[in-house]
């Protein structure tokens, strides 16, 4: 067994939040970044829209704050919203310093686009692949930084907790599986930062990459961190409906530039659901599309760009246009078939305004966290903004974190576990979880559906727990274990919210509770984590 690896800061995840934190924190300590596949296999890399910030002459901080609060449907933390919006423009300047190639207009100013829920054009972008461009620049800076060690093909197994040694709740690193070597390493750190993204893969239809299995949320919960508002899963209204598209996202920016949603008959329908029609909040648009599909029995609705200038559409959305053309859809001449899909976790590990959890030495930033910014529904393009703002604040805060760890750290032990000869169990359990979560805890919910999901997940978690301890671990069982726990937490959160608010819509409780509240879960609230 190899000796523990010691660093100042351990970052789990290599998206915008993790890499921005690493580059800033490297000014006062050594950083190890672990990422379970390639460093650019992240939700950030898949983000199309951009970063929302107040940069236009006709905009104001107050307008951005108000737009965020309206979409958040009464659950945003106003102080956090005001802080994030205020610090947004500075983070956009940091992107430019990294070398991110943001689009500029003919006047030399940053080109600003508009997305759903925004009252002004305030989203900076790079064509329709903003996330990919940000990921490129941040990775380039990370690889040049001698203070940062980037470990790809490494998946975190569990966080190291002082509670296991009879001490106070405190985190001092993690066990990490080197997927190539098959070896579990022990990495010790003064501060551990969860930046592992969301959990879209808990649903069968999602815009997320395969890595989005809720690892950070699950690991944090297992050592006693509070998780909050996990019932608020944002379903993106428009994902390309095509058997070979693998849930390719059709950016909200298309609607921001004038795209119209239509039925197969050509009839528009969003005016009946929201005053902003196609630019209504994502929860409203997703439910509207879901309702129209169910009413008509159709496979999809259609996003129509054909009334716009063809050269503009191709120039503004080159990546989407190219992908559609490869599948036989010319978006300048025919509408794009679209359906909703799981997109973003508005809840997560509960943190304060610098990313600290209730566990000493453990931070969470980006989609893994629940900061109070998004409330019951996220305003479009506030996610990359949040990742950068909280990464910067956490990087400043960790400089004073003191090392807390036992004198002797127990190495990872597989016990009597053997090599698995029944891997099909993992595949079948993975598939079953994702399908019943979509059917029972999806866009529209009921108590009966939630109870069915609850019964199924508890049986499956017992099966998974037994498999986990009987066989030697690999990335598949690690992800399944985490996915099952996150599914349990989403179900339990949804079961406790007896109202319809934002992204949580239930036919049994169609009205809002007059007293807005968060849904916080802690390890002592339910069955032990596997």
Q: Which residues are catalytic?
A: 282
Contacts of 121 (CB under 8 A, 6+ apart): 56, 59, 112, 113, 114
CB 137 within 8 A of CB 95: yes
Instruction: Return the ∠ at Cα 267 (arms to 263 and 269), rounded to 5°.
Output: 75
Distance, in Å, from the CA atom of 22 to the CA atom of 33, rounded to the nearest integer, reads 7
Q: Which two tokens stand for residue 239?
A: 């994902």
Distance, in Å, from the CA atom of 454 to the CA atom of 96, rounded to the nearest integer, reads 46
DSSP strand pairing (51-52 vs 31-35): unpaired
Distance, in Å, from the CA atom of 20 to the CA atom of 158, rounded to the nearest integer, reads 23
3-state secondary structure of 8: strand
Can you name the residues that pair with 10 across neighbouring β-strands? 32, 192
Give the largest Cα separation in the chain, rounded.
70
Distance, in Å, from the CA atom of 359 to the CA atom of 79, rounded to the nearest integer, reads 22
Short-list 41, 28, 34, CA closest to 10: 34
Distances (CA, A) of 122 to 9, 184, 318: 34, 45, 21
- Phi, then psi, of 72 in degrees rounded to 5: -70, -10
């Amino acid at each position: 067994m190899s000796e523990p690896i010691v660093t100042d800061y351990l970052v789990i995840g290599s998206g915008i939040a993790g890499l921005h934190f690493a580059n800033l924190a490297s000014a006062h300590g050594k950083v190890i970044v672990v990422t379970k596949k390639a460093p650019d296999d992240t939700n950030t890399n898949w983000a199309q829209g951009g970063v929302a910030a107040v940069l236009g002459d006709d905009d104001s901080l107050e307008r951005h704050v108000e737009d965020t609060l309206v979409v958040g449907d009464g659950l945003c933390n106003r102080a956090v919203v005001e802080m994030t919006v205020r610090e947004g423009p500075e983070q956009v300047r940091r992107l430019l310093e990294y070398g991110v190639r943001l689009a500029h207009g003919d006047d030399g100013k940053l080109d600003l686009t508009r997305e759903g829920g925004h009252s002004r054009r305030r989203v900076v972008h790079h064509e329709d692949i903003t996330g990919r461009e940000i990921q490129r620049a941040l990775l380039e800076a990370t690889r040049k930084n001698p203070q940062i060690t980037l470990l790809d093909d490494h998946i975190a197994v569990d966080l190291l907790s002082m509670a296991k040694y009879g001490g106070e709740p405190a985190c001092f690193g993690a066990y990490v599986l080197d997927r190539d070597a098959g070896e579990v390493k022990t990495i010790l750190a003064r501060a551990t930062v969860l930046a592992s993204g969301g959990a879209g893969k808990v649903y069968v239809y999602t815009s997320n990459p395969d890595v989005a299995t809720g690892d950070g949320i699950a690991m944090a919960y297992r050592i006693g961190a509070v998780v909050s508002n996990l019932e608020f899963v944002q379903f993106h209204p428009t994902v390309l409906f095509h058997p070979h598209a693998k849930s390719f996202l059709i950016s909200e920016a298309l609607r921001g530039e004038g795209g119209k949603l239509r039925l197969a008959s050509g009839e528009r329908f969003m005016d009946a659901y929201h005053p902003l029609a196609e630019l209504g909040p994502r929860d409203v648009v997703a439910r509207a599309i879901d309702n129209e599909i169910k009413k008509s029995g159709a496979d999809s609705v259609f996003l129509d760009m054909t009334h716009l200038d063809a050269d503009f559409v191709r120039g503004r959305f080159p990546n989407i246009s190219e992908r559609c053309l490869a599948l036989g859809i010319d978006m300048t001449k025919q509408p794009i078939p679209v359906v909703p899909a799981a997109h973003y976790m508005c809840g997560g590990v509960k943190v304060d305004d610098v990313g600290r959890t209730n566990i000493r030495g453990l931070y969470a930033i980006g989609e893994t966290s629940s900061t109070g910014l998004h409330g019951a529904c996220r305003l479009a393009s506030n996610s990359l903004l949040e990742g950068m703002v909280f990464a910067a604040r956490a990087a400043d805060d960790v400089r004073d974190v003191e090392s807390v760890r036992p004198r002797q750290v127990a190495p990872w032990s597989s016990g009597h576990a053997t090599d698995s000869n029944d891997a099909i169990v993992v595949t079948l359990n993975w598939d079953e979880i994702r399908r019943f979560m979509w059917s029972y805890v999806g866009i529209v919910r009921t108590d009966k559906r939630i109870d069915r999901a609850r019964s199924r997940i508890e049986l499956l978690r017992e099966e998974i727990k037994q498999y986990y301890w009987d066989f030697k671990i690999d990335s598949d069982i690690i992800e399944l274990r985490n996915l099952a726990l996150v599914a349990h937490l989403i179900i339990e959160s949804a079961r406790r919210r007896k109202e319809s608010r934002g992204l949580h819509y239930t036919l049994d409780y169609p009205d809002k509770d007059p007293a807005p509240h968060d849904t916080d879960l802690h390890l002592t609230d339910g069955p032990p984590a596997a």
